[in-house]
């Protein structure tokens, strides 16, 4: 990669951010497309994100992906907010305009729907109720995207019931809240179960989801991608359910960001999923 006087700079901001796969994905696409650009990771101080974004106003950096713990602050700092970022109450994408304005968007919902379409061909969000585990930023974005895509009902199942109730009320549409203990009831008759909690992440305890209560046709998706086959997906596969992994979502939420930063769709023929899998398998410092 050659850095020139025209190199377009974009990146990801988070804390911690060193393990992010986004630089690997975006730089592989840049190389494949022959675009004079670079994508780097930034780790602003946890209380310094507003200062960091202010310093970038005017376009020294074309844009940022935003990850934990800055997604909610990113939304507040932006001058223009897309409808889907507003619905999610979180932004994973900031674009810096030359006149100093900052635009916020959220592509997580697109990534989730894209992953479902790719790994569960024929799945339709309209096919039936969808159970969503979690009531954090990812669940909020997913619920809004599912309702917008025509899901007849989204059942938000969360450890803290009040949070599920708040998300259900905020997202509107046909959203209902369930405590984690009532997961089996929430799983009845669903078209899909989607985990939007960190439960099952390598090194953390997994939540024992009563997937037996789902219909045989249900699709089970996990936003967690480390390990690629989480305990939830392993159980789903053992029950014969179709599964969708979080890595597919990660790659698919990155594509619209790439387009926003560099003005072109990711090139076809660059297997970023394979690159990401190799990186995930490497022992991490
Ligand atoms: P938040 O911290 O905002 O939300 C976490 C939610 O998970 C809360 O509702 C919390 O419940 C619940 N939760 C946490 N631990 C457990 C547990 N052990 N058992 C049951 N519930 C639990 O996180 P985000 O919403 O930002 O992200 C959620 C997950 O999704 C993360 O692992 C993240 O990496 C992943 N993600 C993946 C993406 C991808 O592209 N693949 C994109 C975005 C997110 P409570 O309210 O009770 O605290």
Of 13, 84, 89, 22, the closest CA to residue 54 belongs to 13
- The reported pLDDT for the residue numbered 137 is 84
- The reported pLDDT for the residue numbered 204 is 82
User: With bands split at pLDDT 50, 70 and 90, how would you rate the model's confidence at 172?
Assistant: confident
pLDDT digits (tens, 9 = 90+) for 132-148: 999 988 898 899 999 99
Average of per-residue pLDDT values in the chain: 95
Q: How far apart are CA 246 and CA 111, in angstroms?
A: 9
Catalytic residue among 26, 62, 71, 235: 71
User: With bands split at pLDDT 50, 70 and 90, how would you rate the model's confidence at 178?
Assistant: very high
- What does the pLDDT average to over 172-185? 95
Which two three-digit tokens encode residue 82? 């897309």
Q: Give 246's DSSP letter.
A: H
> H helices of 130-230, where?
137-148, 161-171, 183-187
Q: Do 84 and 106 contact (CB within 8 A), yes or no?
A: yes
Examine the residue annotation and report whether 71 is marked as an active-site residue of this protein.
Answer: yes
Q: Is the pLDDT of residue 200 over 90?
A: no
- Please tell me if the CB atom of residue 231 comes closer than 6 angstroms to any atom of ligand 1: no
- Please tell me if the CB atom of residue 199 comes closer than 6 angstroms to any atom of ligand 1: yes
Radius of gyration of the chain (CA): 19
Q: How far is the CA of 192 from the centre of ligand 1 (A)?
A: 18
Q: How far apart are CA 102 and CA 218, in angstroms?
A: 40
- Please tell me if the CB atom of residue 91 comes closer than 6 angstroms to any atom of ligand 1: no
Could you give phi then psi for residue 203, rounded to 5 degrees? Answer: 90, -10
Q: Do the domains spanning 8-106+249-281 and 109-244 agree at the CATH topology level? A: yes
Q: 73 Cβ partners below 8 Å, 6+ apart?
A: 49, 50
DSSP letter string, 49-97: HHHHHHHHTTTTS-EEEE-TTSHHHHHHH-SEE-HHHHHHT--SEEEE-
Contacts 24+ apart (CB under 8 A), 174-179: 174/147, 175/143, 175/147, 178/131
- What does the pLDDT average to over 43-64? 95
pLDDT digits (tens, 9 = 90+) for 243-272: 999 999 999 999 999 999 999 999 999 999
- The reported pLDDT for the residue numbered 284 is 62
pLDDT digits (tens, 9 = 90+) for 75-92: 999 999 999 999 888 999
Which two three-digit tokens encode residue 149? 């895509």
Q: Is the pLDDT of residue 113 over 80?
A: yes
Q: Give 266's DSSP letter.
A: P
Q: How far apart are CA 193 and CA 162, in angstroms?
A: 20
Nearest residue by C-alpha to atom 37 in ligand 1: 223
Nearest residue by C-alpha to atom 28 in ligand 1: 197
DSSP letter string, 118-152: HHSTT--GGGS-EEEE--SHHHHHHHHHHHHTT-S
CATH classification (class only), 8-106+249-281: alpha beta
Every domain of the chain and the residues it spans: 8-106+249-281, 109-244
Q: How far apart are CA 219 and CA 62, in angstroms?
A: 37
Residue range 109-244, CATH number: 3.40.50.720
- String of b and e for 115-152 (b: at least 16 CB within 10 Å)? bbbebbeebebebbbbbbbbbbbbbbbbbbbbbbbebe
- String of b and e for 218-237 (b: at least 16 CB within 10 Å)? bbbbbbbbebbebbbbebbe
User: Which 3 state secondary structure label does DSSP give 12?
Assistant: strand
Percent of the chain beyond pLDDT 90? 87
Nearest residue by C-alpha to atom 7 in ligand 1: 197
């Amino acid at each position: 990669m050659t850095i020139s006087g025209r190199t377009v700079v974009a990146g990801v901001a988070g804390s911690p951010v060193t393990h992010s796969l986004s630089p690997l994905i975006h730089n592989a696409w840049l190389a494949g497309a022959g675009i004079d650009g670079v994508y780097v990771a930034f780790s602003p101080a946890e209380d310094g994100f507003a200062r960091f974004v202010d310093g970038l106003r005017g376009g020294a950096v074309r844009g940022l992906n935003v990850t934990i713990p800055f997604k909610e602050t990113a939304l507040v700092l932006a001058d223009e907010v897309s409808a889907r970022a507003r619905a999610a109450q979180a932004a994973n994408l900031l674009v810096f305009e030359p006149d100093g304005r900052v635009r916020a968007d959220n592509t997580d919902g697109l990534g989730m729907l894209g992953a479902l379409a790719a790994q569960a061909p024929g799945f339709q969000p309209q096919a039936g109720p969808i159970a969503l585990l979690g009531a954090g930023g990812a669940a909020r974005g997913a619920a809004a995207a599912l309702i917008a895509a025509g899901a007849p009902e989204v059942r938000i199942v969360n450890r803290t019931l009040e949070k599920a109730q708040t998300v259900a009320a905020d997202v509107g549409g046909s959203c209902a809240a369930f405590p984690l203990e009532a997961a089996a009831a929430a799983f009845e008759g669903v078209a899909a179960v989607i985990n939007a909690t960190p439960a099952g992440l390598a090194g953390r305890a997994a939540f024992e989801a009563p997937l037996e209560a789902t219909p045989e046709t249900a699709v089970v998706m996990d936003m967690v991608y480390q390990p690629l086959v989480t305990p939830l997906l392993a159980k789903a596969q053992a029950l014969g359910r179709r599964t969708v992994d979080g890595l597919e979502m990660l790659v698919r939420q990155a594509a619209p960001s790439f387009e926003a930063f560099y003005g072109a769709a990711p090139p076809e023929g660059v297997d970023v999923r394979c690159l990401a899998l190799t990186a995930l398998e490497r022992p991490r410092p």
